[in-house]
């Protein structure tokens, strides 16, 4: 019994020793791993540097986007008049040339109208022929009472010649009122009394009209011996309102047709009554009925020309070379005037619309150069320029985008709808000093670089001493505008990435971007 207890006690002691030894081994491994991790972290904390020369180069800042090829000019075709589709000679997607017939419509009402107008013109011609021998009155009389302000016709003048030149033989002022039109003065109001003066004469006038849209005002006044066509000066108190030509306020025009003026009965400035004889005519004086019929025939001819133009528009042609789009008409289909029929997408000059977000749009200006790369053409690049910037943005996902239109320099091999990746050169600096952007250090809000001599090669410590100013950057290189000279050598910090396990063995995928601790400086 005593022996059994002794054996059990020994077994317990051995078990405790084994457990304790295992715990100590785990602790030792953990401590060793911790030390190795600290050593590895210290190694990673060291920064390796590349030494690069300050060189001259060109820097381009590019704004990227995407879009698809579209025609610069879309020629949309609309129905000029209503009609029924008679024939369709093209399909959606067909290539057409300017002048090709695409659709023919039929409109029987138009043809009936044309035939009726032709008949009416023939009847008018017959009436004119029968009236050729009739004579009109030998006198031209006043159409209204008033003052005969202007007399254009003189004895011996051709009535037709005077009418062609002046539009009238004489002008009557029925109320003896004159007017002048001046630029609008904001200090003047409707109905305001003013003074009107010309050649030493002065009368009172009134502002009878104000046209704010046209920026003009009208002043009316009694004749006071003023002559139409002369210039008057208008004032309000001591303020000059402007100058203008004298006109008849409410003119009545005296007209005539045919013959020659054989006598003039009244002169300018005389008072006349309605029906008074003003002129006597001689020569071939044709009747008023004849002139009325001639005028009627001219109106019929104008209507006929319009009807024939409408009939011509029933044959719809392509207005430019290109590709038919949106054509879906079929025979016997009825269309209304103004209805869109199809579009001819020009196959010549093409464009690409690109959406640019609000963070980049401020750098885009008209005329900037760009390139468009086409995956469908094995990455072929075509140059372009910024032709239009739509100032109205569209918000999507809390970001406003603006449409920028690029005109491509060539279209050979391109098809409408092809997609392209676009790069717009928003800023460019040529032949400038530049360094990698990683060389720039920000210290107290100022920019510095470390020169080669600023590196302590034993400790790896670096103190950036050279203050610089910068310009354009493309994200890789940055322009140096002051602080460095060509040929200066600057230190560019590199990022190291490595992995270690707790046993001090480099893990899979270990990398050293920028040099090893034993060689922290590379040039």
CATH code of 145's domain: 2.40.30.10
Provide the domain count of the chain: 4
| Strands of the 95-96 sheet, one edge to the other | 74-78, 340-345, 322-325, 95-96
Tell me, what's the pLDDT at 521?
38
For residues 12-20, give the mean pLDDT: 66
- pTM of the model as a whole: 0.47
Whether residue 36 lies inside any domain: the answer is no
The CA distance from 274 to 185, in Å, is: 39
pLDDT per position as a tens digit, 464-478: 889 999 998 988 999
Please state the length of the chain: 523
Whether residue 415 lies inside any domain: the answer is yes
pLDDT confidence bin for 522, thresholds 50/70/90: very low
Question: Looking at the structure, do residues 196 and 128 belong to the same domain, yes or no?
Answer: no
Whether residue 8 lies inside any domain: the answer is no
Residue 514 pLDDT greater than 70, yes or no: no
Question: Looking at the structure, do residues 189 and 238 belong to the same domain, yes or no?
Answer: yes
Tell me, what's the pLDDT at 368?
92
Average pLDDT value over all residues in the chain: 85
Tell me, what's the pLDDT at 506?
44
Residue 62 pLDDT greater than 50, yes or no: yes
pLDDT confidence bin for 31, thresholds 50/70/90: low
Tell me, what's the pLDDT at 134?
61
Q: How far is CA 311 from the centre of its chain?
A: 36
Whether residue 483 lies inside any domain: the answer is no
pLDDT per position as a tens digit, 273-324: 999 999 998 877 777 788 888 889 999 999 999 999 999 999 999 988 888 9
Whether residue 463 lies inside any domain: the answer is no
pLDDT per position as a tens digit, 235-248: 998 899 999 999 99
Backbone phi, psi, residue 359, to 5°:
-75, -25
Rounded percentage of the chain residues whose pLDDT exceeds 70: 84
Whether residue 503 lies inside any domain: the answer is no
Question: Looking at the structure, do residues 389 and 418 belong to the same domain, yes or no?
Answer: yes
pLDDT per position as a tens digit, 164-213: 999 999 999 999 999 999 999 988 999 999 999 998 889 999 999 999 99
Whether residue 511 lies inside any domain: the answer is no
pLDDT confidence bin for 7, thresholds 50/70/90: low
Question: Looking at the structure, do residues 258 and 144 belong to the same domain, yes or no?
Answer: yes
CATH code of 363's domain: 2.40.30.170
pLDDT confidence bin for 509, thresholds 50/70/90: very low
The CA distance from 360 to 368, in Å, is: 14
pLDDT confidence bin for 516, thresholds 50/70/90: very low
* Range ranked top by mean pLDDT from 21-35, 94-108, 273-287: 94-108
pLDDT confidence bin for 403, thresholds 50/70/90: very high
Question: Looking at the structure, do residues 128 and 207 belong to the same domain, yes or no?
Answer: no
Tell me, what's the pLDDT at 5?
52
Range of the domain at 286: 139-292
Question: Looking at the structure, do residues 299 and 287 belong to the same domain, yes or no?
Answer: no
Residue 269 pLDDT greater than 70, yes or no: yes
For residues 371 and 259, which has the higher predicted lDDT (pLDDT)? 371
Residue 261 pLDDT greater than 90, yes or no: yes
pLDDT per position as a tens digit, 132-145: 656 667 889 998 99
Residue 416 pLDDT greater than 90, yes or no: no
Question: Looking at the structure, do residues 254 and 269 belong to the same domain, yes or no?
Answer: yes
The CA distance from 112 to 306, in Å, is: 13
CATH code of 321's domain: 2.40.50.100
Tell me, what's the pLDDT at 135?
61
Question: Looking at the structure, do residues 304 and 335 belong to the same domain, yes or no?
Answer: no
pLDDT confidence bin for 493, thresholds 50/70/90: confident
Question: Looking at the structure, do residues 398 and 300 belong to the same domain, yes or no?
Answer: no
Q: What is the dihedral of CA 452, 454, 460, 462, to 10 degrees?
A: -120
Please identify, among 428, 445, 464, the residue that sits at the C-terminal boundary of a domain.
428
The CA distance from 489 to 33, in Å, is: 41
State the SS3 of 372-434: EEEHHHCCEEEEEEEEEECCCCEEECCEEEEEEEEEECCCCCCCCCCEEEEEEEEEEEEEEEE
Kindly state the helix (H) or strand (E) to which residue 315 belongs, with its residue range. strand 315-317
The CA distance from 229 to 149, in Å, is: 11
For residues 22-45, give the mean pLDDT: 60
Residue 496 pLDDT greater than 60, yes or no: no
- 18-53 as b/e: b if 16+ CB within 10 A: eeeeeeeeeeeeeeeeeebeeebeeebeebbbbebe
Question: Looking at the structure, do residues 187 and 150 belong to the same domain, yes or no?
Answer: yes
Question: Looking at the structure, do residues 248 and 384 belong to the same domain, yes or no?
Answer: no
Whether residue 236 lies inside any domain: the answer is yes
For residues 327-354, give the mean pLDDT: 90
Question: Looking at the structure, do residues 278 and 321 belong to the same domain, yes or no?
Answer: no
């Amino acid at each position: 019994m005593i022996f059994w207890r002794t054996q059990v006690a020994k077994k317990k002691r051995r078990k405790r020793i084994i457990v304790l030894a295992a715990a100590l081994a785990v602790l030792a491994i953990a401590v060793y791993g911790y030390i190795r991790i600290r050593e590895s972290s210290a190694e990673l904390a060291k920064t390796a540097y590349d030494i690069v020369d300050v060189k001259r180069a060109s820097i381009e800042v590019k704004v990227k986007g995407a879009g698809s090829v579209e025609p610069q000019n879309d020629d949309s075709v609309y129905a000029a008049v209503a009609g029924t589709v008679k024939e369709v000679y093209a399909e959606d997607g067909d290539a057409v040339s300017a002048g090709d017939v695409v659709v023919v419509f039929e409109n029987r009402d138009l043809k009936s109208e044309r035939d009726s107008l032709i008949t009416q013109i023939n009847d008018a011609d017959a009436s004119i022929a029968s009236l050729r021998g009739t004579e009109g009155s030998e006198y031209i009389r006043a159409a209204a009472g008033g003052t005969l302000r202007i007399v254009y016709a003189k004895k011996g003048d051709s009535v037709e010649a005077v009418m062609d030149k002046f539009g009238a033989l004489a002008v009557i002022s029925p109320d003896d009122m004159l007017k002048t039109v001046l630029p609008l003065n904001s200090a003047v109001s409707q109905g305001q009394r003013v003074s009107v003066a010309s050649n030493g004469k002065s009368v009172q006038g009134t502002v009878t009209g104000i046209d704010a849209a046209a920026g003009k005002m009208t002043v009316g006044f009694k004749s006071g011996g003023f002559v139409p066509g002369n210039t008057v000066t208008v004032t309000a108190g001591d303020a000059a309102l402007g100058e203008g030509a004298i006109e008849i306020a409410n003119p009545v025009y005296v007209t005539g047709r045919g013959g020659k003026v054989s006598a003039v009965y009244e002169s300018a400035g005389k008072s006349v009554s309605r029906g008074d004889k003003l002129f006597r005519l001689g020569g071939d004086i044709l009747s008023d009925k004849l002139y009325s019929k001639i005028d009627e025939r001219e109106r019929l001819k104008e209507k006929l020309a319009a009807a024939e133009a409408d009939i011509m528009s029933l044959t719809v042609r392509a207005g430019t070379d290109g590709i038919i789009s949106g054509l879906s008409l079929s025979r016997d289909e009825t269309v209304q005037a103004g209805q869109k029929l199809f579009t001819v997408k020009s196959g010549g000059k093409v464009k690409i619309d690109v959406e640019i977000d609000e963070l980049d749009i401020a750098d885009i200006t008209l005329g900037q150069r760009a390139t468009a790369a086409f995956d469908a053409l094995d990455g072929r690049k075509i140059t372009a320029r910024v032709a239009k910037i739509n100032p109205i943005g569209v918000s999507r996902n809390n970001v406003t985008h603006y449409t920028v239109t690029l005109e491509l320099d060539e279209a050979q091999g391109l098809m409408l709808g092809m997609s392209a990746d676009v790069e717009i050169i928003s800023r460019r600096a040529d032949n400038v000093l530049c360094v990698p952007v990683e060389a720039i250090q920000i210290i107290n809000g100022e920019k510095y670089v470390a020169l080669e001599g600023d590196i302590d090669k034993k400790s790896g410590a670096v103190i950036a001493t050279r203050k610089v100013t910068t310009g354009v950057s493309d994200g890789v290189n940055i322009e140096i505008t002051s602080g460095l000279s060509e040929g200066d050598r600057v230190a560019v910090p590199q990022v190291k990435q490595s992995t270690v396990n707790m046993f001090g063995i480099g893990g899979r995928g270990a990398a050293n971007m920028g040099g090893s601790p034993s060689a922290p400086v590379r040039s």
